[in-house]
Amino acid sequence: MSSKVTLFIGDLSIGGAERVTVNLANQLSENGHQVEVLVISQQGKLINELSPDVRLSVLPVNRMLWSIIPLAKHLRQSQSDVIIPMMAGPNILTILSRKISLTSPQVIVTEHINRTNNYHNELHDIFPKYLYKYADNVVGVSEGVTEHIKDWAKIDPDKVTTIYNPVVNEGITKISPQTPSEFKRNSKTILGVGRHTPQKDFKTLIRSFAILSKEYSEDVQLIILGKGECTSEYKSLAGRLNIREDVYFPGFVDDPFQYMSNADVFCLSSRLEGLANVLIEAMACGTPVVSTDCPSGPAEVLKNGKYGKLVPIEDPEAMKSALITTLENPISAEKLKKRAQDFSIEESTKKYEALFED
């Protein structure tokens, strides 16, 4: 049965939840639903990846916090059957807006992270605890996140479902044969990808690489894609450790999968994740991976180490050892690609559709 579905997020700049929004919107549209992506700001490179059949709408506000009344008006006008907000801010505002809109779309809130941490806005940690119970369904993007929500927000367990993020499709595997210019010949390449924020903890990866580069028998280089508040700090750290010439910061790139497919190892250094989409994307490219055993996603993705080494957070020595082991004894590309298919866009979308009310 076809539904009218709205996905609500701040914008479509490059990020994990933003890419999930695009992937889910496109697949729902392909499956025959009438789909709208609602944003606060019409910006971000991922806008260009929306299907022409997906409608992009913009609320007339400058900040997410001011969107309650405009969102309530939009709900009355759009008459959507289902609204799926992405991340805590949109989740909170959607629940409140529905209450004052005098409409009754099914609200499926999505939680992308464990909220008992120090890396998020305090209001985003407090309000979900008391408001998520008013949603029709709550989706956790990993089993760890789901169990946390049940315990932390005291929600009826029957309302909470685990649906892995829609990450993998054929586009990831159709990689350009061209090698990015940053890759040096005859060097092993370690890759990190993500926003440059304290949560992603690329400082540990840089420190680990500094130790590895002194101990490893071959030439190595480190490439860290992305940008953020910590970029200048990372560059300074690499300079102080005398490895600046071997560490590259290309920023955000149009085709991160090209970098993943050419890297010898992908490393996730985060202190906290919900699922770790980039880990799955690297595996879909056939690239061996190393990850911190942070809450909540990596251990699930890697099946407790079956598909890649897990190391404690903020431990450069342990990370260095895992990277060397993986460089010398990589897991086969086919095994990694097969595991990544468990996070396909098609399967994830089917599980969202199963929640839609008749």
- Write out pLDDT tens, residues 127-157: 888 899 999 999 999 999 999 899 888 889 9
**What H or E segment, with its residue span, contains residue 55?**
strand 55-58
Range 33-53 average pLDDT: 94
**What residue spans define the domains of the chain?**
4-163, 171-342
The Cα-based distances of 224 to 293, 338, 340 in angstroms read 20, 26, 22
Q: What is the model's pLDDT at position 254?
A: 86
Mean pLDDT of 282-310: 96
Same fold across 4-163 and 171-342: yes
Q: Is the pLDDT of residue 350 over 60?
A: yes
Mean predicted lDDT score pLDDT of the chain: 93
Cα angle for residues 151, 153, 154 (degrees, 5° grid)? 65
pLDDT digits (tens, 9 = 90+) for 154-200: 889 999 999 999 999 887 767 666 899 999 999 999 999 999 999 99
pLDDT at 348 over 60: yes
Architecture of domain 4-163 in this structure: 3-Layer(aba) Sandwich (3.40)
Which CATH code fits 171-342? Answer: 3.40.50.2000
Question: What pLDDT, in 10s, does the model give residues 195-242?
Answer: 999 999 999 999 999 999 999 999 999 999 999 999 999 999 999 999
Task: Write down the H helix ranges in 5-138.
Answer: 16-30, 68-78, 88-101, 122-131
Residue 94, C-beta contacts closer than 8 angstroms, at least 6 positions apart = 8, 71, 83, 85, 107, 109
pLDDT at 295 exceeding the cut of 80? yes
* 23 closest CA partner among 113, 141, 132: 141
pTM of the model: 0.91
The DSSP symbol for 168 reads: B
